[in-house]
Amino acid sequence: MHQSKRRNAPRRANALKQLRNARMRSAAEGSPTPVNFFWDDPELLTVDTGDTFEIHFNDLIDDWFGISAAMIVEALIAADGRDVLVHLNSPGGMVFEGVSIHSQFKQYAGKVTMRVEGLAASAASFVMLAADEVLIEPGAMVMIHDAWNITIGDAAAHRKEADLLDKLSNNIAEMYAGKAGGTAERWRGAMVEETWYTGQEAVDAGLADALTADPAATDDEDTTAAAINWTTVFDVAPRLPVDLTQPPPALPAGLDHVDLGAVAAAVDAWRAQQKQDIPAPVTAAADTQTSAEWSSFIDRMKGLKAS
């Protein structure tokens, strides 16, 4: 939706002031807080951690009902050039307000990281594009669609509004293409279809840079790195008269990655031990027959990339 309500800003400010005053009076008197069924006073939660300034963006994008560009300007002034982490969960809102918020983040002097933690839909989906890095939770989603509005008037008024909506949507498509690549026409097609992306799909499409890291998964990968590498080593080992499908009895202590020298030394020591139980003519023939395979194995080992 694109319609601006800036002409109502004074009336909005006065209404919110009256609501806050009513709440303060009620709190002082111990009476129930008045309930407003049409809007609440929107707030942008910020957390100053010292090195990083965090913004919790959890509301509509709107200069009346939700988070406005003015709020973002105020927050970025407080951030004062430090790295900013934005926790984003928004269904979107007003196009022009979203474009202004995008511009504020884009012009910020420090690094901006957007972390999509629930939903980045509609205007929020292009606000996130302003970040230097866009991360997304595996369970979060991104939604893009064409701009829309409600008009009242004759046929000419509706046609004029339709032309304006096409311009807005084409501009937004250019923003998606600028981040993710591809043509604006292709992104406009996805917008017309109202496309929803899971976390991984958003990364694959280029809208997000990466899924957020799972600390537990990272720990598991670290503890199994050596086993994975050793399995790879023995899967490509040449066939010998001894069983190389089993790991050597004593591996170098603290080996976390493939080390060609350590692997060769361990295998050679193991082969020497195994040869004690094999007749000399057999081992000599085996060494001759497998020399080419062993050279190939060493070359393949050099090409292995440690995890």
- Residue 295's CB: how many other CB atoms inside 10 A? 11
pLDDT at 187 exceeding the cut of 60 = yes
How far is CA 199 from its chain centroid? 7
Q: Choose between 142 and 26: higher pLDDT.
A: 142
Q: What is the mean pLDDT of the chain?
A: 75
13-28: pLDDT as tens digits: 555 555 555 555 555 5
192 pLDDT more than 50: yes
Tell me: pLDDT of 48 over 80.
Answer: yes
Asked whether 130 and 105 are in contact (CB, 8 A), the reply is yes
pLDDT at 1: 54
For residues 123 and 156, the answer to whether their CB atoms sit within 8 Å is: no
Query: If you average pLDDT over residues 30-35, what whole number do you get?
Result: 49
Give the start-end residues of each E strand in the chain.
Answer: 45-48, 52-57, 83-90, 112-121, 133-136, 141-144, 195-198, 210-211
- 267 — pLDDT class (breaks 50, 70, 90): low
Mean pLDDT, range 300-305, rounded to an integer: 53
Q: Between the ranges 22-31, 191-200, 206-215, where is the mean pLDDT highest?
A: 191-200
pLDDT tens-digit map of 69-90: 999 999 999 999 999 999 999 9
The residue that leads in pLDDT, 246 or 52, is 52
Q: What is the mean pLDDT of residues 55-66?
A: 92
Strands 45-48 and 52-57 turn out to be antiparallel
CB under 8 Å to 287, separation ≥6 — which residues? none
pLDDT band at 64 (very low <50, low <70, confident <90, very high): confident
Rounded CA gap, 159 and 153, in Å?
Answer: 10
Longest dimension (CA), the chain: 103
Residues in the chain: 307
CB 108 within 8 A of CB 79: yes
DSSP 153: S
Which tens digit of pLDDT belongs to each residue from 85-108?
Answer: 999 999 999 999 999 999 999 999
- Looking at per-residue confidence, does 272 or 100 come out higher? 100
Whole-number pLDDT of residue 213: 81
3-state secondary structure of 214: coil
Q: Which two tokens stand for residue 169?
A: 């949507």
Among 17-21, 244-248, 273-277, the least confident range = 244-248
pTM over 0.75: no
- Delimiting residues of CATH 3.90.226.10 domain(s) in the chain: 42-211
Q: What is the mean pLDDT of residues 244-270?
A: 55
Mean pLDDT of 130-134: 97
Cα torsion 21, 22, 25, 27: sign: negative
Q: Tell me the CATH number for domain 42-211.
A: 3.90.226.10
Each residue's pLDDT tens digit, 144-165: 999 999 999 999 999 999 999 9
Strands 112-121 and 83-90: parallel
Name the more confident of 56 and 262.
56
Please give the pLDDT value at position 228: 33
The share of the chain scoring above pLDDT 70, in percent, equals 56
- Greater confidence (196 vs 284) lies with 196
Give me the pLDDT at residue 43, please. Answer: 72
Summarised one tens digit per residue, pLDDT across range 217-228 is 444 444 433 333
